[in-house]
Amino acid sequence: MTPESTTLAIAYIGLGGNLDRPLDTLASARRMIAGLARVRETAFSSFYRSAPMGPANQPDYINAVMAVETSLPPLALLKAMQRVELSHGRVRNGLRWGPRTLDLDILIYGKLHITDEGLTLPHAGIADREFVLYPLAEIAPTDLEIPGMGRLCDLLIACPRRGLDVVVHG
């Protein structure tokens, strides 16, 4: 499969935010993503609370992971996710890991392993981020092979929860 391919793929999308009622924002983003043409939601994790990864002087994050079946090519899916972010007040100010209303990341897209100018698949941070791995494990097979990284079950063993808490069960 090439990045431009339009065959059906399972993609996992990470959702996160820590400003302006993040539970409501993530629920709204979920509805928008599920309503996109050529995208069908297949699963959604619980909502998790985690400490911020970047600057400490910001609220805790709320995170979740959504599984979708899509015929959108990866870059088109990325553009659609960026439109959803913008519709929820996302401002890209260059501050890495800073506070935000909504952050959407394509974590995995089928078996693709690509590095493109604007998109790396699978997402480079999956293996180290408890706020991605644990929600992902809720909705994906534990023997899921993350291209170039290994099996989800093995990554979970190597990644402690670091205070990650379920806030709302999926």
Higher per-residue pLDDT: 116 or 23: 23
CATH of the domain at 13: 3.30.70.560
- Tell me: the pLDDT tens digits for 79-107? 999 999 999 987 776 666 678 899 999 99
**pLDDT exceeds cutoff 60 at 2:** no
User: Could you tell me if residue 158 is inside a domain?
Assistant: yes
Residue 117 covered by a domain: yes
Residues carrying an active site annotation: 90, 100, 103, 105
Q: Give the tens place of pLDDT for each residue, 38-81.
A: 999 999 999 999 999 878 889 999 999 999 999 999 999 999 99
Tokens of 169: 């069960």
DSSP letter (8 states) at residue 101: S
Domain tally for the chain?
A: 1
Decide which of 137 and 6 is more confident. 137
Axis crossing angle, helix 22-34 with helix 74-87, rounded to the nearest 10: 140
- Percent of the chain residues topping a pLDDT of 90: 82
| Burial of 110 from C-beta contacts in 10 A (0-12 / 13-18 / 19+) | middle
Is 54 domain-assigned?
A: yes
For the chain, the average pLDDT equals: 92
Element (H, E) at 47: strand 47-50
Q: What contacts 94, CB < 8 A, 6 or more positions away?
A: none
CA dist 24 and 17 (Å) reads 10
Q: Is residue 4's pLDDT more than 60?
A: no
Single out the residue of 134, 11, 127 nearest to residue 77, CA to CA: 11
Domain around 34: 9-165
The residue among 134 and 118 whose pLDDT is bigger is: 134
pLDDT band at 1, cuts 50/70/90?
Answer: very low
Distance, in Å, from the CA atom of 7 to the CA atom of 154, rounded to the nearest integer, reads: 29
Can you tell me the distance from the alpha carbon of 62 to that of 102, in angstroms, rounded to the nearest whole number? 10
**In this structure, is residue 99 part of a structural domain?**
yes
Mean pLDDT of 122-147: 96
